[in-house]
Structure 1
């Protein structure tokens, strides 16, 4: 039995790479977030600035 490369199969059947489909989905979600009202939590989180780590904030000893 001969082996057929995945690239050959994708090209023959017109199937996109999973990474391309994931990128498209992320871009659609990003556009959805950008169009939301400014008071929506997901939009607030998009522009949220997290302060630098404070001295003594060592989570390695948790749990």
Structure 2
């Protein structure tokens, strides 16, 4: 299946992500991204995602802490 890029970002860009959780069970979530090379992301590995954890900046709906 061919990769279809939804958006592209540069280092230090601030992006808005919408998430709706129905039940949190006292857990948390981490978002990660992996740079896409000339192979349309096919070389993205778990190690790559583990090295690129996205920073939480602000919760505009509930003002939750970092």
Structure showing greater relative contact order (alpha-carbon pairs closer than 8 Å, 6 or more residues apart): 2
- Asked which structure has the greater CA Rg, the reply is 1
Q: TM-score range by the shorter chain?
A: under 0.3
- Provide TM-score, normalisation by structure 2: 0.20
